[in-house]
């Protein structure tokens, strides 16, 4: 047990030390100066808004698929699960380039949508949400699927014998009992979305999300302003993460 504690402690130090060093390297004056920049505040707000919309999209699209995977057996199920996991194995710059072929100016979806409605995915918040959703929806599907698999099928059968329809059973029995897994997946989706860089910078460089803006500041001014914004953005992200953990802990209690 001591050896496990030692190894675990080394891993925790490995994770925490760079972040602690990042915060420790900042002065209050540099943080205030960067926080006063309008483009910094707008990029952080854009990341929060896009990640929130992505999480909603993941819930609407991912939870139904997770229910099918967790509750039914069908031909080709293994292939579907492999496709769901595919974004985890694809480099995110590759994701951005691939998305350009679908949602870019000449993309099979982007071109007709732009022609018919005038809306374009490149250079808009919509493109950011699409890039975030692609790389993060896997977490919602997988965590929700595990949640649905943990629900005792006998409870659903009892509800059906009492006269509840399929939708009523799903909404009143399966969904509440799988809520912990679903919320875990949505939290991971939000966290992954808010930190996404590679696919976003390829598909939608402007408007800049917070990770893209940090990279832009690094290219222009080096570590000074970029590290201050990184610390500021990290503080916002960690605060949200702690809040979500608290809310979910209250729900479990």
Euclidean distance between CA atoms 47 and 181, whole angstroms = 24
- Note the residue count of the chain: 253
The tokens for 220 are 């222009």
Task: Give the chain's domains with CATH numbers.
Answer: 28-252 (1.10.3720.10)
Tens digits of residue pLDDT in 187-201: 999 999 999 999 999
C-alpha dist (Å) from residue 129 to 54, 96, 99, 187: 6, 12, 12, 16
Answer yes or no: is pLDDT of 251 > 70. Answer: no
DSSP 171: I
Mean pLDDT of the 99-108 span: 91
> How many Cβ atoms sit within 10 Å of the Cβ of residue 191?
18
Packing angle, helices 223-252 and 179-194, rounded to 10: 170
Mean pLDDT of the 205-219 span: 93
Coil, helix or strand for 63? Answer: helix
- Give every CB contact of residue 77 below 8 A, 6+ residues apart in sequence: 69
Answer yes or no: is pLDDT of 253 > 60. Answer: no
pLDDT of residue 248: 67
Mean pLDDT of the 109-138 span: 92
The tokens for 18 are 């760079």
pLDDT range class, residue 250, cuts 50, 70, 90: low
- Give every CB contact of residue 52 below 8 A, 6+ residues apart in sequence: 190
pTM of the model: 0.89
Percentage, residues of the chain above pLDDT 70: 98
pLDDT range class, residue 231, cuts 50, 70, 90: very high
Coil, helix or strand for 164? Answer: coil
Tens digits of residue pLDDT in 57-76: 999 999 999 999 988 888 98
Candidate from 12-16, 28-32, 45-49, 108-112 with smallest mean pLDDT: 28-32
Average pLDDT across the chain, whole number? 89
> How many Cβ atoms sit within 10 Å of the Cβ of residue 136?
27
CA atoms within 13 A on the CB side of 7: 4
pLDDT of residue 233: 93
User: Are residues 170 and 234 in contact, defined by beta-carbon separation less than 8 angstroms?
Assistant: no
- Give every CB contact of residue 25 below 8 A, 6+ residues apart in sequence: 227, 231
Q: Nearest CA to 208 among 128, 102, 97?
A: 128
Euclidean distance between CA atoms 165 and 159, whole angstroms = 8
User: Are residues 204 and 122 in contact, defined by beta-carbon separation less than 8 angstroms?
Assistant: yes
Phi, psi dihedrals of residue 188, rounded to the nearest 5°: -65, -40
Tens digits of residue pLDDT in 80-98: 999 999 999 999 999 999 9
pLDDT range class, residue 169, cuts 50, 70, 90: confident
Q: Which of residues 14 and 252 earns the better pLDDT score? A: 14
SS percent in the chain: helix, strand, coil, step 5: 80, 0, 20
pLDDT range class, residue 159, cuts 50, 70, 90: confident
pLDDT range class, residue 127, cuts 50, 70, 90: very high
């Amino acid at each position: 047990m001591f050896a496990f504690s030692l190894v675990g402690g080394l891993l925790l130090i490995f994770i925490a030390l760079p972040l602690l060093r990042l915060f420790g390297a900042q002065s209050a004056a540099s943080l205030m100066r960067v926080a006063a920049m309008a483009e910094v505040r707008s990029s952080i707000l854009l990341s929060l808004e896009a990640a929130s919309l992505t999480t909603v999209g993941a819930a609407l699209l991912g939870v139904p698929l997770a229910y099918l995977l967790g509750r039914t057996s069908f031909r080709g199920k293994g292939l579907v699960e492999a496709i769901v996991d595919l974004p985890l194995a694809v480099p995110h710059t590759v994701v951005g380039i691939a998305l350009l072929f679908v949602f870019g100016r000449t993309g099979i979806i982007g071109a007709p949508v732009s022609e018919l409605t005038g809306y374009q995915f490149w250079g808009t918040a919509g493109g950011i949400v699409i890039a975030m959703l692609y790389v993060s929806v896997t977490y919602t599907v997988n965590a929700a699927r595990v949640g649905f698999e943990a629900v005792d099928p006998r409870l659903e059968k009892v509800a059906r014998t009492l006269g509840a329809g399929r939708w009523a059973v799903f909404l009143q029995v399966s969904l509440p009992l799988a809520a912990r897994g679903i919320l875990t997946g949505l939290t991971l989706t939000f966290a992954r979305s808010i930190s996404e860089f590679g696919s976003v910078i390829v598909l939608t460089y402007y408007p800049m999300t917070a990770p893209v803006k940090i990279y832009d500041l690094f290219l222009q001014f080096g570590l000074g302003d970029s590290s201050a914004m990184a610390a500021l953005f990290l503080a916002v992200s960690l605060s949200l993460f702690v809040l979500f953990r608290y809310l979910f802990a209250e729900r479990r209690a």
